[in-house]
Amino acid sequence: GMGGIGKITIARAVYDEIACQFEACCFLENVKEGFMKHGKLHMQKKLLSSISGNKVGSSDILKNGFQVMLKSLGHKKVLVVVDDVDKLAQIEALLGNEHFGGGSRIIITTRDWQLLSIADVIYSPKVFNDAGALELFRRYASEQSNPPKIMIIFRGVSYNMLRVSHSLLKF
């Protein structure tokens, strides 16, 4: 979905809530940026190190092969979040064709709907309308649902902020 609607926030909340139910977990944030800045091998090391619980080096992957190493972890029930994917090649490079143990879950966040054709289930966050976004802003700004008088004075300022940063206030 579009930027600023809370994809990573929701993915992080789900991850934090259910991670204890898995043998191994990995939250790969900013995958697009990670591939651009550090490359495929670096991202594969992060994934394998996180899931295996051991530091995995580049030489390990080059010597043994990423798919072989990933397959060796196939018996584990894992939770993997792959955030901000923009190419199918990134998913293939990180997850390949290997399947993890029973009950495993993979969560992918992306702005590209076409990448989700491989998904079993798709969740699309709802975008707040202006009134909903303003109410959320007020609750966080005043830490309560019925803001004090001083907050009412700033209603015009709140509406202006809403207009300027519309997408940021939608979650």
Q: What angle do CA 8, 11, 12 make, to 5 degrees?
A: 85
Q: What angle do CA 148, 157, 138 make, to 5 degrees?
A: 40
Nearest C-alpha neighbor of 69 from the set 89, 90, 98? 98
The answer to whether position 2 is within a domain reads no
Same-domain status, 136 and 97 = no
The answer to whether position 45 is within a domain reads yes
Same-domain status, 93 and 157 = no
Same-domain status, 95 and 52 = yes
What does the alpha-carbon distance between residue 14 and residue 12 come to, in Å, rounded to a whole number? 5
The answer to whether position 125 is within a domain reads no
The answer to whether position 30 is within a domain reads yes
Encode pLDDT of 102-122 as tens digits. 899 989 888 887 776 666 666
- Would you place residue 42 in the very low, low, confident or very high pLDDT band (cuts 50, 70, 90)? very high
Same-domain status, 73 and 38 = yes
Same-domain status, 11 and 92 = yes
The answer to whether position 57 is within a domain reads yes
Domain residue limits at 163? 130-169
Q: What is the pTM of this model?
A: 0.70
Encode pLDDT of 72-96 as tens digits. 777 889 999 999 999 989 998 998 7
The answer to whether position 1 is within a domain reads no
The answer to whether position 29 is within a domain reads yes
Same-domain status, 77 and 160 = no
Count the alpha carbons within 13 Å of 80 in the hemisphere toward its beta carbon. 26
Nearest C-alpha neighbor of 60 from the set 34, 82, 41, 74? 41
Determine the angle formed by the axes of helices 40-52 and 88-95, rounding to 10 degrees.
40
Token digits for 1?
């979905």
The answer to whether position 19 is within a domain reads yes
151 has a pLDDT exceeding 80? no
Same-domain status, 66 and 141 = no
Q: How many domains, in total, are found in the chain?
A: 2
The pLDDT value recorded for residue 164 is 54
